Amino acid sequence: MAETAHAPGTSPSETARPVPFRGGGFAPRPRKWVGLAVFVALIALAEWGTRAGWISALTLPRPSDVLETFVQLYESGLLFRHLVPSLTRLIVGAAIGVGIGISLGILIGLFSHVRAGLVPLVAAIFPIPKIALLPLFVIWFGIDEASKYALIAFGTFTPMVVATYGAVDNVDRTLIRMGQSFGLSWVSIVRKIVLPGAMPGILSGLRISLAIAIILLVAAEMLGASHGIGAYILEAGSLYDLERLFAGVVILSVLGVTVSAGIGLVERRLLAWRS
């Protein structure tokens, strides 16, 4: 940069000045260790503060104690007694909600009558706080697993529908017109143009829906669950046991990161056609 601006002996107006490439944009580049360093710094700060005493035991648990609690949880085998029911609820509930959500979303995107009939309904049930319906679900589906599946399914369904029909709407019109001009059948257009074109939007909707499913897991386990990560967190909260509370919260966070990474993998596979 410095030499191009002031090349010695020549006046700037006479020589062709090489222009540096300035269109690099703000493209984020991978910096693998920065994210980890932020975590480590925050945890180290909390550890130092709780040890030195300027963070009281009431405000924050000591990170090393949380780790110890987690190790105990693992060694006693309780971790899996909590994880297995929670993961089952998450998988079954989210599978039902996401499955119905994507199917209905595609139907809304493709058929005007379905759109006219269902979009207002979806808009009406979207803002209902699903947790408020929990007591009702208990009456409808019983206090055992079914009501928990229903809550998670209901909570993931609405964002999934909205994301899916939005994604179908955003498929490039010119591609569809091209397909029609070339005489492709309706089924071919849907299968080869609409669905792949809607896939990025559907997958980003899935990311949001699954995060909501994890949030709702805690709510679903409020009623009548004696095992599960959500039940574990609620119990720790009512016992004011901060170490267990944070151990549970960390499990949920790890679950969130895992799900997000999983969707990242699926995206790379399904959306390979984009690059």
Partner 1 sequence: MITLNRRKALALMGGTAAASLASPALAMNKPIKVGALRFTSHAGSFVAYERGYFAEAGLDVEFEFFEAAQPMAVAIASGDLDYAVTAISGGLISLAQKGAIKVIGGGLSEEPGIDGQKFLVSDAAFQAGVKTPADLGGKTFGISTAGSSFHYMGAKMAAAEGISLDYKPLQKVGAIIGALKSGQIDGWVIVPHIAKPLAGSGAVHIVGDVSTYLPSYQVTTLFTSARNAAEERALTESFLAGYSKGAADYNAAMIARAGGEDGVNAMVDLIHKYVNADQPREKAAASIINGTMRLNEGAALNVASVRDQLDWFQSEGLVDAGITLDMLLDTSYVQTMDS
* Segment interacting with partner 1, rule: CB under 8 A, options 14-22, 208-216, 223-231, 267-275: 223-231
Q: Which of 224, 250, 252, 270 binds partner 1 (CB under 8 A)?
A: 224
* Segment interacting with partner 1, rule: CB under 8 A, options 17-25, 191-199, 225-233, 266-274: 225-233
- Report the distance separating Cα 92 and Cα 152, nearest Å: 9
Query: For 14-133, where are the alpha helices, taking DSSP H only?
Result: 32-52, 63-75, 78-110, 112-125
Interaction with partner 1 in 84-123: which residues (CB under 8 A)?
A: none
Pick 56 or 275: Cβ nearer partner 1: 56
- Of 164, 165, 176, the closest CA to residue 115 belongs to 165
Q: Which of 240, 261, 265, 273 binds partner 1 (CB under 8 A)?
A: 240
- CA dihedral over 46, 49, 52, 53, signed as positive or negative: negative
Pick 59 or 103: Cβ nearer partner 1: 59
* Segment interacting with partner 1, rule: CB under 8 A, options 26-34, 39-47, 53-61, 179-187: 53-61
Q: Which two tokens stand for residue 52?
A: 């030195």
Q: Which of 123, 239, 254, 257 binds partner 1 (CB under 8 A)?
A: 239
Could you tell me which residues come within 8 angstroms of residue 195 by beta carbon, excluding any fewer than 6 positions away? 106
- Evaluate whether 205 touches 167 at the Cβ level (below 8 Å): yes
Q: How many other CB atoms sit within 10 Å of the CB of residue 80?
A: 13
Helix, strand, or coil here: 56?
A: coil
Pick 237 or 256: Cβ nearer partner 1: 237
Q: Which residues contribute to the site for partner 1 (CB under 8 A)?
A: 56-58, 135, 138-139, 142-143, 222-226, 231, 234-235, 238-241
